[in-house]
Amino acid sequence: EVPPGVVSLGDYERHAQAILPADAWAYISGAGADGLTRRWNREAFDGMRLAGRVLADMTDAGTDTMLMGMPMSMPVLVAPVAHQKLAHPGGEVATVLGASAARAWMCVSTLASTTLEEIAEASQTTLIFQLYMQASREVTLSLVRRAEAAGYSALMVTVDAPVNGVRNDEQRAGFRLPPHVAAVNVQGFPTPSSRAGPGESPVFKGLLDTAPTWSDIEWLRQQTTLPVMLKGITSPHDAERALSCGVDAIAVSNHGGRTLDTLPSSIEALLAVADTVRGRVPLVLDGGVRRGTDVLKALACGASAVMVGAPVMHALAVAGPVGIVHMLTILRAELEAAMALTGCVRIDAIDEEILWPGKDAPG
Ligand code: FNR
């Protein structure tokens, strides 16, 4: 099922672009505004060099690690990605089959095109429910209770998208969700945008007057015993605030460059947040991860794990569940090779020593 010559995540991206309709491609690959943050995500990884080490004893080497007290076979997660039926008719079920076969955790978007229960039913891996807070606490809580009942292991609250980014790529392509792709988990819920009256700002009145604030995060923390991770933090101040709300983990993310353009690259944001958090909660990074060496670099800069977003859609479009397992297996094999060539036997042994020059090295 995997076309010949597809051996890297970049290959999946090129093949997906050739297969997908132009407007779906514009949604999947569309960055905010001028796409600067998305470009910087890649440039930051590419600009970092590794310090190779030879002849290390790799007995008992492995990629297994822990996150929020739960074991994971490798520090790479499937990021929450909406509307997966755009890429493949099997949608999120296809993804969870692939993620399960690759033994990778999967985050399920509030805007999934399959019910969260059906995804859980098909899953043989650890699932995290990505929560977009809804216009009322009652409705938000109904989603949380469904995720708990379906056996999700944690909540990931995405906080960086209370308004839509300036998605010029999508606008130019005239992207609209086709009828066979719907956000079935929130169907019939009151949509914040319908609150803007005539002549009122759709941003300030329509969306932000019901957008969540820190007090909603404090409230949510009281409502569930599941671990709660906040996704979309780039500011050290916000990270400190998140800690005071009692969150269990932070996903440092600029949403793959899809929300506010000219936010710093994911790796720059990670360095700043890690400096403030100093190990008090685990950090997860996403944005631009395409190689095993990127995973290694993120871990060296203080992340406990990383997530991949757009590559999920690319792999799904090209080869469905087989594409997902292949894509994740490529990342695992690349990470293993990078660990071997930098002398890292275990995930928790990865630190800034593997960067050239090391953080504390002169010059
Ligand atoms: C996303 N992302 C996202 N995030 C989220 O919290 N909820 C969502 O529903 C979505 N939907 C979504 C759709 C598509 C098509 C993409 C590409 C991304 C963001 C995602 O979780 C992640 O932060 C980025 O994709 C990471 O960057 P890379 O790996 O795409 O470079």
pLDDT, residue 195, reads: 65
pLDDT tens, 16-63? Answer: 999 999 999 999 999 999 999 999 999 999 999 999 999 999 999 999
Q: 286 C-alpha to center of ligand 1: Å? A: 9
Q: What is the mean pLDDT of residues 248-266?
A: 98
For residue 27, give every residue at least 6 positions away whose Cβ sits within 8 Å of its Cβ, in sequence order, or none.
Answer: 83, 86, 170, 173, 175
User: Whose C-alpha lies nearest to ligand 1, atom 14?
Assistant: 81
Q: How far is the CA of 81 from the centre of ligand 1 (A)?
A: 5
- ipTM comes to 1.00
* Interval 286-342: pLDDT, tens: 999 999 999 999 999 999 999 999 999 999 999 999 999 999 999 999 999 999 999
Mutating to test ligand 1, I would choose from 81, 95, 177, 285 the residue with most ligand atoms within 8 A of its C-beta, which is 81
Binding pocket residue ranges, ligand 1, CB within 6 Å: 28, 41, 79-82, 109, 111, 130, 158, 231, 253, 255-256, 258, 286-289, 308-310, 313
| Rounded CA separation 81/94 (Å) | 13
CA of 157 to the centre of ligand 1 (A): 13
**CA-based angle 4:8:10, to the nearest 5?**
105
Residue 363: what pLDDT? 44
Mean pLDDT of the chain: 95
Query: Of all atoms in ligand 1, which is nearest to the CA of residue 251?
Result: 23
Exactly one of 15, 255, 314, 326 is catalytic; name it.
Answer: 255
pLDDT at 69 over 90: yes
Cα 227 to ligand 1 centroid, rounded to whole Å? 21
Ligand 1: distance of its center to the CA of 168 in Å? 17
- Point out the ligand 1 atom lying closest to the alpha carbon of residue 41: 31
What pLDDT digit, counting tens, does each position of 189-242 carry? 987 665 677 888 878 877 777 889 999 999 999 999 999 999 999 999 999 999
Centre a 10 Å sphere on the Cβ of residue 291 and count the other Cβ atoms it contains. 19
Atom of ligand 1 nearest to the CA of 290: 29
Whole-model pTM: value is 0.96
How far is it, in rounded angstroms, from Cα 90 to Cα 38? 28
Predicted confidence at residue 209, as pLDDT, reads 79
3-class DSSP string for the chain = CCCCCCCCHHHHHHHHHHHCCHHHHHHHHCCCCCCHHHHHHHHHHHCCEECCCCCCCCCCCCCCEEECCEEECCCEEECCCCCHHHCCCCHHHHHHHHHHHCCCCEEECCCCCCCHHHHHHHCCCCEEEEECCCCCHHHHHHHHHHHHHCCCCEEEEECCCCCCCCCHHHHHHCCCCCCCCCCHHHCCCCCHHHHCCCCCCHHHHHHCCCCCCHHHHHHHHHHCCCCEEEEEECCHHHHHHHHHCCCCEEEEECHHHCCCCCCCCHHHHHHHHHHHHCCCCCEEEECCCCCHHHHHHHHHCCCCEEEECHHHHHHHHHHHHHHHHHHHHHHHHHHHHHHHHHCCCCHHHCCHHHEECCCCCCC
Using CA atoms, how far residue 338 sits from 50, 90, 173, 320, 335, in Å, is 9, 33, 39, 27, 5
The pLDDT, as a whole number, for residue 87 is 98
Residue of minimum CA distance from atom 5 in ligand 1: 80
Task: Give the number of the atom of ligand 1 that is nearest the alpha carbon of residue 288.
Answer: 31
255 in catalytic set = yes
